[in-house]
Amino acid sequence: MRCQQCNQELIEKRAGAIYCNHNCRQKNYKRRKTIQNRIVQLENEIYQNQEWLNSMERNLSFLGNRAVNHKNLSYQIRQKKRIRKSSNEQLKEWLLQQAETTKKFFSKEISMLFSGTRKEQFNALHFIRRKLRNDLLGLEKMKWQNIEEMSAEKERLISEIRLLKLEWEKLKKVDLKNLPNEKELEEIQEKEKNSPKNLPISSKEIARMNFDGIVLNGDLGKFLGKLGREKCAIVLTGDSGAGKTTFSFTLAKNFLEKGLSTVYFALESGITEEVQDLVKENGLDHFDLPVFYKGKLEDVQREAPNYDCVIIDSYSKIADRPEAFEELRQEFPDTYFVIIFQKTTTGTVRGGSSIIFNSTAAIDIKQTKSGRRMAFMKKSRYGTENFVFSTDQQKLLKATKNPISWNEIEERWGDQEE
């Protein structure tokens, strides 16, 4: 007889036992629990995606049958945002006030909220906020999407549900009472390592896909190009005092003007008079821009799913590993990241060349001898490499991809009058 966990021969004293010690029993229990939790998680994701798909089909019908009332949509969006960001008590109060309407969608969750255990109440609140977020996304997309674009999104969602169901079916077939032991598990993992990681996506499906992206207003939008939402990370570099923080607040204002929720981590400067001036100069006192003056990587990871755009000043305050930059991109692929990086004494980016390599756009900000501030697009996946932008004048100075040196920039625009 061998141990079901480590595959070692059981001693005679433990005849009839299935584990050689308590440690192996615990390890096996944790493995079973992980599989069970993942099954529950997949069931929730499938259910939520199906709900989102049903909502999208209703939206398609709505778009097909009548013109979209943008004023009404804007009101619904503001209301959903307010409810989603409210406290747990306020959310409960809203559910009671809207009992007739909400009962259709949250009947199970409402009963859990008022009669369930603490854990069930937490899960119910989490589900309701997630559902409100999905509804909010649907409403915001309706403001600009046409029927063809939404149909492509529907196809993508159907594909995602199919993949989740495949994983769920695979896990449901696992015999939890007879899990493979550690040796067998190593052999399975080795086989999986050599097999394809993901299922392929058909070329027809790719052709129908809609890739979300935005173009900011004015010359700044021309300088940045159409920013694809997928794993977008813009790196800002520059010498001390060149205007990186100033430019980052300009970006915050422009993202907010496009209706994208934005959060700012002012970890380098904190809340100072200079930050107050930047808020006023950019008219950010008319927007709801949360500014954190303390924080770590965990705080960024906590807030990233709740916002469209996250701006960090600066990276060295949240992480000392360059790998964490790429981890943020991969973990939150739908979030726009704008991150300020300091330079070393040799003029290179603190964190190494991998930072520039993994970024989708890298902007170097410098001051001319006469004090003019310029932004130079060192790298861009959006077709604007080598573009030059005056951050003082908010004006695009060069809109061609041909290479240009800083000396040439200095010579051509260094003393240009505003």
pLDDT in tens, 322-366: 888 988 998 898 899 999 998 887 778 877 788 889 899 999 999
Q: Tell me the average pLDDT across 238-261.
A: 91
What are 361-414's pLDDT values in tens digits? 999 999 888 889 999 999 999 999 999 999 999 999 999 999 999 889 988 887
Give strand ranges (E) for 247-386.
Answer: 262-266, 291-292, 309-313, 336-340, 361-367, 373-380
Contacts 24+ apart (CB under 8 A), 350-353: 350/315, 350/316, 351/315, 351/322, 351/325, 352/322
Tell me the C-alpha to C-alpha distance, in Å, between residue 224 and each of 50, 238, 304, 383, 400. Answer: 36, 17, 22, 8, 13
Place of tokens 């409960």: 92
Backbone angles phi, psi at 2, to 5 degrees: -120, 155
Dist CA 379 CA 389 (whole Å): 14
| pLDDT above 60 (res 167) | yes
Per the CB < 8 A criterion, the answer to whether 311 and 265 are in contact is yes
- Tracing tokens 């469209």 back to the chain, one arrives at 308
Q: Are 52 and 134 in contact (CB under 8 A)?
A: yes
> What span, in angstroms and rounded, lies between the C-alpha atoms of 265 and 252?
11
Amino acid identity for residue 386 in this structure:
N
Nearest to 179 by CA among 32, 70, 55, 371: 32
Domains of the chain with bracketed CATH: 22-208 (no CATH), 213-413 (3.40.50.300)
pLDDT, one tens digit per residue, over 26-63 is 888 888 888 888 888 888 888 877 877 777 777 666 55
Helix (H, G, I), strand (E, B) or coil at 355: helix
Strand duo 336-340 + 361-367: pairing: unpaired
- The model's pTM: 0.55
Mean pLDDT of the chain: 80
pLDDT at 137: 64
Q: Which ranges constitute the DSSP H helices of 98-235?
A: 99-115, 118-142, 147-172, 182-193, 203-208, 218-224
Q: Is 33 exposed, middle or buried (0-12, 13-18, 19+ CB in 10 A)?
A: exposed
Of 54, 32, 331, 35, give the one whose Cα is nearest residue 167.
Answer: 35
Q: CB neighbours of 93 closer than 8 A, spacing ≥ 6?
A: none
Q: How far apart are CA 291 and CA 275, in angstroms?
A: 10
pLDDT given at position 67: 45
Which letter does DSSP use for residue 8 in this model? P
Confidence of residue 20 (pLDDT cuts 50, 70, 90): confident
Is pLDDT of 16 > 80?
A: no
Q: For residue 258, how many other CB atoms are within 10 A of its CB? A: 16
